[in-house]
A and B are shown apart, each in its own frame.
Chain A
């Protein structure tokens, strides 16, 4: 038997849980980042990062600007402007998908042109793991964003859902922030 439980004191449970999840995810990413940094320059065979990596500036800008669009989308919904919400939410999905496409085309190039796979050397192992872990989070985020889009199209997203979408946008901001760290580690420090 489930009885609705009133929230009587303290903060809303959604953001609290999301911040806890973000803490856990940060710990996971920290371990991968530490491994990446520790293994920089320890590969015994090529290819080395400086030979094959190019900083994906455009795709990075796409992902970072998607943080802004999701913020505008939720803001629009909170004010009851569902048209604004729809446009910005779509933009977020498009930007996220563009970023994902960027990662995939980079991998395609690395694998087929440069012959770097996850088992080639330590660089391959750490690179694909770290970028792949981030990419996995982007995919999860895109699935959630698309699901919300589907709800919106069927007219099921209304003003009172803004708080819940805030929780989702927290996750998306986290995915973006992690990319800043990954970008710095892989394309700036690691090269």
Chain B
């Protein structure tokens, strides 16, 4: 281990005009700055998407509510879904990958820094394009503004006949453009991890976060590309009079469903595997133990990647596939429970016998374990095709995937924010505010998404702007909406905490968690070149070896 902390002083901010600083950020190719740009951008859209969700929930607070007209409601759920998946979850995870991967593998930057900047700006442009629809989509023949076809935009609702005007075009183009950005980032992550590791860091000595991001990037390449192809087809249909999804001319609506979900399901793993990565870094540090079963964790992730490519049609159990196709997709879907289960047990085994310190990042990770368990179990219910014929497209599904994306991914993301905030900013967050955020958010989460399962069981379909009284759905919808208040409060505390700590937090030092991976060996925030001299590692926990020269990891691995 030859690492030295480098005293790095942030250049005096006041000394330079704002324009210079902005120019630096816009033209940066530094992976850390691009990571922070990704994250900030995603946080901005998180708030927008959250506001959209709030509009949806206020409308559904009671039957026959008139808060917004149906057209607006339909736009809101389309924008909410599209924004949260493509302009919050993907960018924020790419941001963390960008920031952390080079630091954790002992590299000075990503393999292709300029491609990295290009990818970010493509993603950013995609998000702006989506929201520009609010202004620009009123074509000559006014037919609405924001897209209103749902985030999976089933054909033929997206055809010119049913979606005139330009709103659907903006939706398509924004996903196409940000898709190029995602593929660029994925290529970059793969090249970085395979080619830029520091001496001694063989594949089996990489931190799990690097491994999981490698699998994630592979999935992005195989999953986002089909979406790109499908969007090109949709554009051909809409602009050149093609017939891919034109059912009047023999085209197939089911084809779009297949193409979308060939992207759409692996996309879930694109999002959840980085979340697993955060948990796999945070849980060991706060349990003070090495990750349990590293090789099995890697193998399980690769398994999830492969099986994840073959389960897409479980989103389509109700479209009338043959019984043999349905049966196959039940099997593949259930099979994915096995590697996922292994991961949960391995995290539990990591905590077993440890000295668990319930700092905010760990609180979020424990909540993640609990919620991801439930999300997995409701996933088994939905994976059982006949059960899905009842539950599919109902609020039960909505509850299930929010359990995955909020209860699983967002919770670990919050954990990751608190865990790496000292590294990124050089300052500690406020622990009390962190806990307040945690408790507000977990209460709100469970109020909203636990009770959201029930109207689904009672027959409430998703994407309805209002519902009839007397269906027994009223109370549940009221509770669900109340939960939103707590979640919103939690997010406000979170953002307040970040801002306050950025300016006023205690100085963190290079290694506030007494952690073991390479990013904690350099200063906080790290210098532009990351490491004074490129480190050499002998085990998966180089800093453990450094701190315990008498009992280093490389003796056992």
Task: Report A's interface with B, CB cutoff 8 A.
Answer: 1-3, 5-13, 16-17, 20-21, 23-32, 35, 38-39, 42-44, 118-119, 121-122, 125-126, 129, 133
Which interface residue of B224, B241, B259 has the most chain A CB atoms within 10 A?
Answer: B241
Query: Which of A16, A122, A125 is the one whose CB lies under 8 Å from B190?
Result: A16
A28 contacts B225, CB within 8 Å? yes
A12 contacts B195, CB within 8 Å? yes
Question: Taking chain A's interface residues, is the majority helix, strand, or loop, or is none over half, making it mixed?
Answer: helix
Question: Taking chain B's interface residues, is the majority helix, strand, or loop, or is none over half, making it mixed?
Answer: helix
Chain B interface size range: 35 or more
CB<8 Å pairs between A and B, sample of 11? A1-B528, A2-B109, A5-B196, A6-B534, A10-B194, A20-B187, A20-B190, A20-B191, A31-B229, A35-B233, A125-B243
Complex Cα–Cα for A29 and B228 (A): 10
Contacts of B228 in A (CB 8 A): 28
B252 contacts A17, CB within 8 Å? no
Which interface residue of B194, B202, B217, B262 has the most chain A CB atoms within 10 A?
Answer: B194
Q: State the Cβ distance, B321 to closest chain A Cβ, in Å.
A: 15
B195 contacts A118, CB within 8 Å? no
Complex Cα–Cα for A121 and B241 (A): 9
Also in contact, A9 and B199, with CB within 8 A (given A28-B225, A126-B244): yes
Which interface residue of A8, A38, A44 has the most chain B CB atoms within 10 A?
Answer: A8
B128 at the interface (CB under 8 A from A): no
Query: Which of B30, B112, B197 is the one whose CB lies under 8 Å from A9?
Result: B197
Also in contact, A1 and B255, with CB within 8 A (given A27-B226, A125-B242): no
B112 contacts A13, CB within 8 Å? yes
Number of A-B contacts (CB under 8 A): 136
A10 contacts B195, CB within 8 Å? yes
Q: State the Cβ distance, A11 to closest chain B Cβ, in Å.
A: 6
- Sorted from nearest, which 4 A-B pairs have the closest CB atoms? A119-B241, A27-B225, A31-B229, A125-B242
B112 contacts A42, CB within 8 Å? no
Contacts of B195 in A (CB 8 A): 7, 10-13, 16
Q: State the Cβ distance, A131 to closest chain B Cβ, in Å.
A: 13
Q: State the Cβ distance, A182 to closest chain B Cβ, in Å.
A: 14
Give a binary string over B235-259; 1 marks a CB under 8 Å from any A CB, 0 the rest: 0110011111000011110010001
Contacts of B529 in A (CB 8 A): 1, 3
Sample of 5 more A-B contacts, CB < 8 Å, known A13-B192, A17-B188: A8-B534, A13-B111, A23-B222, A31-B230, A121-B243
Contacts of A129 in B (CB 8 A): 232-233, 236, 242, 244
B457 at the interface (CB under 8 A from A): no
Contacts of B249 in A (CB 8 A): 44, 121-122
